[in-house]
Every structure is written in structure tokens, then in C-alpha cells.
């Protein structure tokens, strides 16, 4: 059907000259424009809302008095953090009422560069879940580590015109923006000249520096942690994303700063959510429940999960129930529990009573597999020798991604080697470059992890995703790394020379192609084994903690494949303390 003919048909449907495809009756409609809820049949045709009232229809759906909401939109998410493929992610969130996500494939891009982004576009193209891509702006995240790729403005330019790409993803290099780094400016100009959205990431930035960040044309931030930060960003014209993920949870705190005057600049996002969380608590539906139970008006909460996000990202036909808007909608019993009963995308039923109805096509993972490439490691590759018995140590803080920079006296053996079994409370940490087999190995010491009699290793190591491994002896650490290599990426636990549990992640070393329920169950067993068999401290989440110890943008000390990094001074330091 031609575009002109399609338009004529929609007009004829709206006028009643032609039957609509679907008429939803006995339904209450949440109108995000007026902030009201009204009762009326809703007519749908050609995948769009046609109008309200009685219409002749080819199919009639009795909604049973339920409330119709626009399909929910996640304003910022890394699909890779779910640890499952895009197909399996869609199977988790569509039954929860999420019909659109704004995804930043930052993690897979750090492994595979443009090829990783193209995989995400291809793997999501035929899904009923609408996945829109923000191009990663920081690959690698810093120049102090080795990722699998480098993406500059010239590399991003041909991707910006691809279908499904909205703009430039979170600009984590806020010092580069504030100090007008030419490479950062090139990426910003690329997006601005194409008229595209630019996402922000500015934790703790305020005053003149935040003003400069906003002056660079960055239009959002999901790193607010206080109501005061929210207010300052709204004043400067930014949208603020209220995040409720697995690790970072800012929603309830920030809600105290949401007012009727600024609520239209507030969006809901998850950022990073693990499979067990998706299955047990949900997705944006969980954020809605939390918001309303914290006292937010339900209509305002729904706006933040629909219309606000659609307007922010230029999704002109999304986020509302009105003529010419895409017929993505959710039927819910109430606006307190927010339990989706039926979910429709473009007028087609895709999920009901928490289960998928629509088929989800699979995508080949061949192009994104076999991504672990290591230089040979010998028995002494992880030896840590110090000139004096005093060390800079990474101190873990339970339930936090922030670490402490500690000075500790350590016991060295006769050859000047640090051995964890001689130093109770301390463990060895290594980050091993795994993309180009450079042979880079960064070594450090951590306090508060507690691993005993073995080692834990993973290829989820933000943001460059090298191999990170912690243990109390080199042999088990090397065995764990060898298992990671054999799996082609994943998470593994070694005890006394034996692999006791493992989770293969064949997609870039970040994601499984298995259903989320299987991944969550295996992670649960591994979590138990880490605490009970390897002695990891009960207050420490062993895998997530490990994965963030290599991220050199979160204070105070981190470890990359090039060595120990002091985030406070933004420079490398030695493990051996100078004072």
C-alpha cells in the first residue's frame, strides 16, 4: 500500500468510512497530554491509534475495565548488563509492559567496536521490542587501558545514519568536555550537525563546570544522586533520568526533588539490570510501582515512563494514546501494582499475563563470538614483587562501586613476593588484556573481598572488558583464566585447582544466548558457591564487585591492564607505596 493510500485509509477509518482493525472496549484511557483518565473505546488501525468512540471493527477486544497506558519506554539501558542476548532481553521486558528502549551498546562496542554496534542493530531489528541505539561516545572509556576497539568521530559518522540510531550516547568523559578536548568536541559536533540527541553522564559535576557541560549541547544526565543535582540540571535545560538499576538506585531519593513544575523534564531508566532482577522485580513497571508507592502521582509517573522520554529522544509517534501515535499499549488492572495483563505493539498482542505471545526471531552470534585472545601466560605471569613491605591497596566498600585508597604493611617472602596466604584479609587482583593478545597484565592487592582457597574470574570488566581475576594463589587464578579462555568468555570459579562453577558468555564475553531464567539460576548457584566454598565476604557481591574494579573513572583506586590507577589524581601509581 502506498504512503498516500495508507494515509487515506487512516483518515477513512477515523471518519468511519472504513472499519478499523481493532476496537478496545470497556477500557479506561490514561491521557498523558491532559493528565486525565477517561472511559472510551479506542480504535486502532494500521498499527496506529485512530480515535476514540464507537467504530465498526474487524476485531473487538473487551478490556474488562482495565486501564490502557502507552507502552513503557526505558530512557537509558545497556542491554549487555542483562547478561542475555537481545532476544532474551526482549522476552524479559515485553511482558512487563516495556515496548521501547533507548540502548547504549557501550559494553559490546568496547569489545568489538563498530561490529558490536552493528550486531546490536541486526539482532534487534525484527524484534517486537523497539530498540533505539545511542552510539557509544567513549570507546575506550579512558586512555589508561586497552579495550578491543577505538571509536573516534570518523568511525561513528557512518553509523549515525543507520536506521535505529538516535544520537550520541552518554558522554562519560566530562573532563574532556569541560576542557574542550578536540576529540570529544569532534564527536559532539558530529551529533549536533546531524541534529541528534546527546546523552550525558556527569556524576558530581556542578556549578560552572556543569554549565560548560550543558553549553556543549548535552541534553540529559542519569547520574544525579541528590534532589539538588536534579534541580540544577533541570535549570540548565537537561532532562534528568531517574535510575533504578541493579547496582545504582537513585529513584526514591530523587523523587523528593520532583515537582509539578519540573516533572516534565524527568524520565525513568534502568541503566543496568541483572537477569535475576528483571525476572523477580521487573523493569520500568518496577520503577512505576516504586514511584507511586513513594507518593508520586500515578499519571505523572506514567508520563515519566512514556511521553517525556518520547519527546526527549524525538520519538514523535510514541509515548501517548492519540490519533497517529503508534498503537503500543499496556492494559493494567490498577495504577498502584502496575501488573501488565496484556501488551500490544503496533496494535498486535505480544504478551499476556506475564508471558510472551509473539515469536522472537533469533540472530546469529557467530560474528560476536570467540573474543578472548590471550598472550601465553606462564606460572610466574601473576607474580607481584615489591621493593618494600608497604603497599597501595584497593579497599572494598560493601554495596558500593567506590573503593578506598589504603596503605597497608604487607609480609613479603624471601624473594620480595606478595603472597595472599601470608597476608590475611588481602587478596591478589589481576587484569589481563584479552582483546589483542598484548600480554598486558595489571597486578594489585584488594582488601575486603575475602576469597580463600581459590579464584574468581570474569570477562565482564567495565568498561574495556578485559579479564579480571581475584584469588589467594596464582595457580588457581591461572586455572580460572584458562577456563575463561576455553569458554570464549564468561564467569568462572576455581577451588583447589578445580573449576567448581562456570557461566559461559559467548556473545562478546558479556552475554549468554540462554534464557534469562537459566542464566539467573546459574548465577544464583555461583553466588552461593562464591560465599560458601570460596569464602567471599557476605556483604560483597562477588561478581559485580569484581567487574567494576577495573573501571578507572570511579574513585578511588582501580586496576587496569596497564596497572594500578589512582582516580583522584587520574594517574597510574605503583603497588609498592613510596611512603
Instruction: Give the pLDDT confidence of 248-275 residue by residue, as tens digits.
Output: 788 999 999 999 999 999 999 999 889 9
Predicted confidence at residue 431, as pLDDT, reads: 98
Q: Is the dihedral of CA 293, 299, 300, 303 positive or negative?
A: positive
Average pLDDT (437-451) is 97
Q: Tens digits of per-residue pLDDT, 89-123? A: 999 999 999 999 999 999 999 999 999 999 999 99
CB distance 180 to 149 below 8 Å: no
Coil, strand, or helix at residue 342? strand
Domain residues of the chain, as ranges?
3-65, 69-367, 390-572
Give the list of residues 6+ apart from residue 180 with CB closer than 8 angstroms, or none: none
pLDDT in tens, 302-346: 999 999 999 999 999 999 999 999 999 999 999 999 999 999 999
Contact predicate 7/18, CB 8 Å: no
Q: In the beta sheet, which residues pair with residue 57?
A: 20
- Grid cell in block for residue 110: 568496547
Report the alpha-carbon distance of residue 529 to residue 526 in Å, rounded.
Answer: 5
The CATH class for the domain spanning 3-65 reads mainly beta
CA dihedral for 191, 197, 203, 206, sign (positive or negative): positive
- Is residue 387 predicted with pLDDT exceeding 90? yes
Q: Does domain 69-367 have CATH number 3.40.30.10?
A: no
What's the pLDDT tens digit per position in 55-91?
999 999 999 999 999 999 999 999 999 999 999 999 9
Torsion of CA 504, 509, 512, 518, to 10 degrees: 50
pTM: 0.95
Tell me what pLDDT residue 71 has: 98
Checking if the pLDDT of 1 tops 70, the result is no
In the predicted model, is pLDDT for residue 2 greater than 70? no
> In sequence order, which residues have a C-beta less than 8 Å from that of residue 38 and are 6 or more positions away?
28, 29, 31
Amino acid at each position: 500500500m502506498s504512503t498516500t493510500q495508507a494515509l487515506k485509509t487512516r483518515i477513512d477509518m477515523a471518519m468511519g468510512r472504513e472499519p478499523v482493525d481493532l476496537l478496545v472496549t470497556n477500557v479506561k484511557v490514561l491521557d498523558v497530554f491532559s493528565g486525565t483518565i477517561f472511559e472510551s473505546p479506542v480504535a486502532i488501525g494500521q498499527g496506529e491509534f485512530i480515535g476514540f468512540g464507537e467504530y465498526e471493527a474487524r476485531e473487538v477486544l473487551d478490556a474488562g475495565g482495565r486501564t490502557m497506558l502507552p507502552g513503557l519506554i526505558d530512557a537509558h539501558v545497556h542491554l549487555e548488563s542483562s547478561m542475555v542476548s537481545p532476544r532474551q532481553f526482549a522476552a524479559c521486558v515485553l511482558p512487563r509492559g516495556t515496548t521501547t528502549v533507548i540502548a547504549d551498546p557501550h559494553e559490546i562496542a568496547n569489545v568489538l567496536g563498530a561490529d558490536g554496534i552493528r550486531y546490536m542493530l541486526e539482532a534487534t531489528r525484527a524484534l517486537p521490542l523497539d530498540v533505539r541505539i545511542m552510539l557509544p561516545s567513549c570507546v575506550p572509556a579512558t586512555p589508561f587501558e586497552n579495550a578491543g576497539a577505538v571509536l573516534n568521530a570518523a568511525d561513528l559518522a557512518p553509523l549515525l545514519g543507520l536506521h535505529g540510531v538516535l544520537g550520541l550516547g552518554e558522554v562519560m568523559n566530562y573532563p574532556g568536555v569541560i576542557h574542550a578536548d578536540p576529540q570529544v568536541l569532534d564527536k559532539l559536533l558530529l551529533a549536533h550537525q546531524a541534529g541528534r540527541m546527546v546523552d550525558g553522564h556527569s556524576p558530581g559535576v556542578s556549578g560552572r563546570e556543569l554549565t560548560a557541560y550543558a553549553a556543549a549541547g548535552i541534553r540529559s544526565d542519569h547520574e544525579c544522586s541528590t534532589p539538588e543535582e536534579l534541580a540544577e540540571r533541570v535549570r540548565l535545560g537537561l532532562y534528568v533520568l531517574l535510575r533504578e538499576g541493579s547496582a545504582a538506585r537513585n529513584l526514591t531519593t530523587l523523587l523528593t526533588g520532583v515537582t509539578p513544575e519540573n516533572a516534565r523534564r524527568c524520565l525513568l531508566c534502568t541503566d543496568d539490570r541483572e537477569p535475576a532482577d528483571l525476572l523477580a522485580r521487573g523493569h520500568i513497571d518496577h520503577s512505576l510501582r516504586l514511584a507511586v508507592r513513594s507518593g508520586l502521582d500515578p499519571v505523572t509517573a506514567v508520563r515519566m515512563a512514556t511521553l517525556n522520554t518520547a519527546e526527549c529522544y524525538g520519538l514523535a509517534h510514541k509515548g501517548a494514546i492519540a490519533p497517529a501515535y503508534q498503537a503500543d499499549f499496556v492494559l493494567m488492572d490498577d495504577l498502584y501494582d502496575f501488573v501488565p495483563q496484556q501488551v500490544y505493539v503496533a496494535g498486535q498482542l505480544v504478551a499476556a499475563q506475564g508471558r510472551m505471545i509473539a515469536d522472537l526471531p533469533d540472530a546469529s552470534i557467530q560474528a560476536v563470538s570467540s573474543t578472548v585472545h590471550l598472550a601465553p601466560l606462564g606460572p610466574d605471569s601473576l607474580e607481584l614483587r615489591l621493593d618494600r613491605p608497604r603497599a597501595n591497596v584497593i579497599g572494598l566498600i560493601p554495596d558500593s562501586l567506590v573503593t578506598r585508597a589504603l596503605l597497608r604493611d604487607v609480609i613479603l617472602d624471601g624473594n620480595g613476593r606478595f603472597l595472599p596466604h601470608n597476608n590475611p584479609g588481602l587478596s591478589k587482583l589481576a587484569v589481563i588484556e584479552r582483546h589483542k593478545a598484548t600480554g598486558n597484565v595489571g597486578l594489585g592487592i584488594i582488601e575486603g573481598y575475602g576469597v580463600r582457597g581459590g579464584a574468581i574470574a570474569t570477562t565482564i570488566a567495565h568498561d574495556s572488558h578485559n579479564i579480571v581475576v581475584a584469588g589467594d594463589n596464582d595457580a588457581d587464578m591461572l586455572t580460572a583464566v584458562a577456563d575463561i579462555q576455553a569458554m570464549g568468555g564468561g564467569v568462572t570459579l576455581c577451588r583447589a585447582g578445580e573449576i567448581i562453577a562456570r557461566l559461559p558468555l559467548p556473545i562478546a564475553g558479556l552475554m549468554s544466548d540462554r534464557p534469562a531464567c537459566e542464566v539467573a539460576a546459574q548465577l544464583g548457584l555461583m553466588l552461593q558457591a562464591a560465599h560458601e566454598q570460596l569464602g567471599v565476604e557476605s556483604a560483597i557481591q562477588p561478581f559485580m564487585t569484581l567487574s567494576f574494579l577495573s573501571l578507572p573513572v570511579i574513585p578511588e583506586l582501580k586496576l587496569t591492564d596497564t596497572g594500578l590507577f589512582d582516580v583522584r589524581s587520574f594517574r597510574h601509581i605503583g603497588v609498592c607505596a613510596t611512603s
